[in-house]
Amino acid sequence: MSRRRTWRSLPVVHQLRQSVGLQRGMLVTGLVLTGLLVLTALLAPLLAPYGFSQLRGPDGTFGAQQAPSADHLLGTTVGGYDVLSRVLYGTRTALFVIVVAIVLSIVAGVLLGLVSGYLGGWLDRVLVVVADAVYAFPSLLLAIVAAIVISGGQSSLVGGVLAAAVSITVVFVPQYFRVVRAETVRIKNEAFVESARVVGTSTWRIMTRHVLRNATRSLPLIVTLNASEAILTLAGLGFLGFGIQPTAAAEWGYDLNRSIADVTSGIWWTSIFPGAAIVLTVLGLTLVGESLNDLADPRLRSRRRAADAPPPADVAVTPGGGLAAGTDGSTP
């Protein structure tokens, strides 16, 4: 069954091979930035000169708000932490929160969307109304409420990260729910699902074998876009003081919050670096997401031109009309 499914048809790899020109540039930039994020998170203990909650070295305390120097390449914060170490360790928190938030919201969202879309009826109506209600809330407010409910204001490492992740999950579940539900409703009426019903396939088997895998095609795209949103929500929570304590984990939003006062007194290093980390992470993930989005749509995808033609244009359409490649040609 996997004869023709090599690594080349994996989601991101496939699109990378397919892309050309500017779109390829965007995708590669995004992938490099995201790759750096993951690498840094994995190697943070090796890369960082100090621990994220370390206040003193062999020569005594670091001192607060020290300018960048040989000892502290990016200076120290108002709390006396090493900025470089906090920024590097921050990638771990960011990645951890992204992964937990997205795994949780995918599991919940896909399951609910599948059941809701396929079975329909009153369950569907209730779930859609709930999802719409969640949408109606400002997401940050919702995340704050969730954070308070979950952690009760206490924020240990696991508790704080989980609180952040779960509160982001609450915001994201409706998105996955809606996308999967819409796809399920569409696929439910496809001939191949009817064909399964005619054979007498059980509802559960139809949902898992025939509908599920076809309904999740656009998920990689939402995942990347949501990942960047998760970072922003996490930073927002930290900035507003609902995040993780500095002793529990390094978190960019918290560091930014603490550096507000520094900005006016000319201490730039405490805010620039965590801020830049957020921007680069979000930029990387968004570039990947947007490129995947464009590549997934044949109307937005640019292609190499036929030989000896004018330079590439952005729009590329091949209507079914005369070619009918989808129905007639068998792929070599």
Nearer to another protein, 137 or 192 (CB): 192
Contact stretch for another protein (CB under 8 A) within 32-40, 168-176, 187-195, 229-237: 187-195
Establish if 199 lies at the interface with another protein (CB under 8 A): yes
Establish if 309 lies at the interface with another protein (CB under 8 A): yes
Nearer to another protein, 119 or 130 (CB): 119
Burial of 91 (0-12, 13-18, 19+ CB in 10 A): buried
- Minimum distance between the CB of residue 325 and another protein, rounded to whole angstroms? 7
Whether 207 and 114 have beta carbons less than 8 Å apart is answered as: yes
R_g of the chain computed on alpha carbons: 24
The CA angle 307-309-315, to the nearest 5 degrees, is 105
Q: Is the dihedral of CA 196, 198, 201, 207 positive or negative?
A: positive
Alpha helices for the chain (secondary structure H): 11-18, 21-47, 83-119, 121-136, 139-151, 157-188, 191-199, 203-205, 213-215, 219-239, 252-258, 260-264, 269-296, 320-323
- Minimum distance between the CB of residue 322 and another protein, rounded to whole angstroms? 4
Establish if 327 lies at the interface with another protein (CB under 8 A): yes
Residue 23 to residue 292: CA distance in whole angstroms: 9
Establish if 319 lies at the interface with another protein (CB under 8 A): yes
Q: Tell me which of 190, 260, 279, 300 binds another protein, using CB under 8 A.
A: 190
Establish if 297 lies at the interface with another protein (CB under 8 A): no
Closest CA to 242 of 325, 180, 168: 168
Establish if 265 lies at the interface with another protein (CB under 8 A): no
Nearer to another protein, 74 or 196 (CB): 196
User: For another protein, what does the binding mask look like between residues 18 and 57, x meaning CB under 8 A?
Assistant: x---------------------------------------
Kindly list the residues in this chain that would bind another protein in the complex (CB under 8 A).
Answer: 1, 3-4, 18, 190-192, 194-202, 205, 209-210, 213-214, 303-309, 313, 315-319, 321-331
